[in-house]
Structure 1
Amino acid sequence: MNSSSYTPLLLTADSGSTKTDWLLQSGNVVIARCTTQGMNPFMIGQTEIETILRHELLTDERFEGVSHICFYGAGCRGKGCETMERALRSVWPQAERITVGSDLLGAARALCGTDDGIACILGTGSNSGLYVGGKLVANVSPLGYILGDEGSGAVLGRRLLGDVLKRQLPQDVCLAFEKRYGLSADAIIQRVYREPMANRFLASFAPFLAAHREHPAIQALLADEFARFFERNILQYERPDLPVHFVGSIAYVFADELRKAALRFGLTVGRILKAPLDVE
C-alpha cells in the first residue's frame, strides 16, 4: 500500500442521553451515517457502552477499520471522558487517534465555527456555553433534569406529566393526553421513580406538546419553560451582543417559541440545527 495515498477513516460521533449520531468519512467523502442509542458515561458504565457499540454499530462492517475517532458526548468530562475513551479503545484497538470531548464543545464548533457566540443544546437535556476565540470559556452547569435542564425535553415532559396528573391543564388537554397514551398515575410513577432512563421517558412526551402547541395552555407552558432557560442560563454570560445558537431536537421543533422567548430578554437567536452532524 502506498502510504502517500492513504486517507484515514474518520469516525465522528455526537451523543446525547437518548441517541448517538455517527458519521464515517474518508477525507471529505461521507461513507456512512448511523444512529445508535445514547451513551452517557455518567449514566451507564464502560461494559454497557462497549455492548452498544458492538451490537448496534459494528454490525456494519464499514465501521470496523476506523483509524481516527472524534467522540463528543453528554457526560464526557472528567472521569466520564476516561470511561468513554477506554470503551472506544477496547472496541477499536487499532485506532491511531481517539479524541473525546463534551457534547457542548461539539455543538459549539458546529454552530459557531470561527465566530464568537453562545452555543446551546436543547434535546433530552439542556446545556449552554460561551464560545470565544475558538474555546468554551464559560459554562453554566445544566445540573440535570431534577435540579436544572431548563427547556429540555425531559423537563418539558416532567412539567406536562405533573400538570396532567394534578389537573392543572384544561380538561380538553388532559383528555387528549389520556386518549393518546392511556397511562395511569401508577404506571407513570413506576417509570419515573423505579425504572432506568427516566429522562428519556419524560422527554418522550415532547411530541404531544408539539401536536398541541396552538393550545393557549401549552403555549404558556412552552413560553414559561424557554424563558426559564434564558433567564437561568444565558443571561449569566452577560453577553447580549452575541447570537445565541441552538442544536437539538427540542430547539429544532420549537424554534418559533424559542425565538419569541429570546426576544423577551433582548437576545437574538442565530442558527438552529437539529444535530451537529447536520453540518457537512
Structure 2
Amino acid sequence: MILIAESGSTKTEWRIIDSKQSVFHARSGGINPYYLDASGILEVMRMGLIEYIDAPVNEIYFYGAGCSSVKNKQTIRDCFMQLFPKAKIEINHDMLAAARSLCGIEKGIACILGTGSNSCLYDGIGIIENVRSLGYILGDEGSGNYLGKQFLTHYFKKELPEAVANQFYEEFNLEPHDILENIYHHHMPILYLSSFSKFIFKYLKDPMIYNMVYQAFKKFVELNVMKYTNYADLPVHFTGSVAFHYGEVLRKVGDDLGINIQEVVVGPIDGLTQYHQPKR
C-alpha cells in the first residue's frame, strides 16, 4: 500500500492506494512541526489514520508546511516510523507537493495561494528556483493572511466603504485591542488573520475590496512569478483555497501582466495521488 499526505497548518489530506489501485480518503488536523511537537504530530497521525494503522503500508510520501529543514523532516519521519516501521518514507516541503501535483513531469511555475503563499520554478523533476516566501510577517503576498492584514488595516484606518465597515462590525464586533490580542497572543496568528478572507470574499463586488484583492495578487505575481527565468514563456499554475475561490481576479491579473495562468485548483492532493499512482 502507498500512503500519501498533503498537510498544512490547519488540515491534512490523506490518500491510501492499495494493491488493486483503489484509492481511499482520510482527513485530519494539520501537521506543522513549527507548531506541534512530536507527541502532537503522532496524535494527529493516529487520529487521521485510525482505520489504517495496521495496514501493510510499504511507501509513504508526506508533503507538509514547515518541512524544508532537515530537523523538521526528521521529526515527521520519526513519527511515521513509530506507526509504519517497515515503510519507505519520503518527506518533502509543500512547495514540491504543488509542483508535482500541478506540473507532473512538465516544466512550469507552481504557486501556492492559501493561508500563506509561495512559488517555485520546476523543471519536471525538481525545484530549480525558489523566490523566498519570507513568511506571514515579511512576505506571503496574495495569501489569506496577507488579505486579512490589508483588510484590517483599512478597517481600523477608516478607509473601507461605510456599508462594508458596518457589516464587519456587526459580524465581529472587534476593537483594536481585540485584534492586537488575537495577533500577538494567538498560538497561530497566520490562521487568525486568514480567517477574514471569507468575509472579504462576500464583498468582492465592492470596487475598493476588488481593488485590494487585485493589488495583492498583482504584488504576488510581480514579486514572485516575474522573478523566474523565462517566466513569460512558461505555464503558471496555482493551488490553494485563496487562488481557487478568487480565481477570476487572479486570472485577470495574469492577463493584465502577460502571465500564462493555466491550472487553478483548490488543493494538490488529487494531482499528487495521480503522480504517485503505480503505472500499470
Normalised TM-score (structure 2): 0.91
Q: Which amino acid aligns with 1:258?
A: L
- Residue 16 of structure 1: which of 8, 18, 43 is its match? 8
Unaligned runs of 5+ in 1: 1-8
| 2:110 aligned partner | 119
Q: Percent identity?
A: 38
| 2:75 aligned partner | 83
Provide the secondary structure at the position in 1 that maps to 2:52: helix
| 2:21 aligned partner | 29
Unaligned runs of 5+ in 2: 275-280
How is 1:1-280 mapped onto 2 (pairs within 5 angstroms)?
9-27=1-19, 29-54=21-46, 56-58=47-49, 60-65=50-55, 66-78=57-69, 79-90=71-82, 92-238=83-229, 239-279=231-271, 280=274
Provide the secondary structure at the position in 2 that maps to 1:231: helix
Q: Does the CA contact (< 8 Å) of 2:115 and 2:143 recur in 1?
A: yes
How many equivalent pairs are there?
269
Superposition deviation, residue 28 in structure 1: 5.8
Q: Does the CA contact (< 8 Å) of 1:18 and 1:124 recur in 2?
A: no
Superposition deviation, residue 177 in structure 1: 1.0
Q: Deviations over 1:46-83 (max 9, x none)?
A: 222112222x314x323442332110011111222122
Q: Which amino acid aligns with 1:271?
A: E
Query: Which of the pair has the greater relative contact order for Cα pairs under 8 Å at 6+ separation?
Result: 2
Superposition deviation, residue 45 in structure 1: 2.1
Find the aligned partners of 2:53 and 2:14 in 1 and give their Cα distance. Answer: 10
| 2:277 aligned partner | none
Find the aligned partners of 1:88 and 1:62 in 2 and give their Cα distance. Answer: 13
Provide the secondary structure at the position in 2 that maps to 1:29: coil
Deviates more, 1:225-234 or 1:15-24: 15-24
| 1:5 aligned partner | none
RMSD of the TM alignment (CA)? 1.5
Superposition deviation, residue 118 in structure 1: 0.1
Provide the secondary structure at the position in 1 that maps to 2:105: coil
List structure 1 segments (4+ residues) > 4 angstroms apart after TM superposition: none
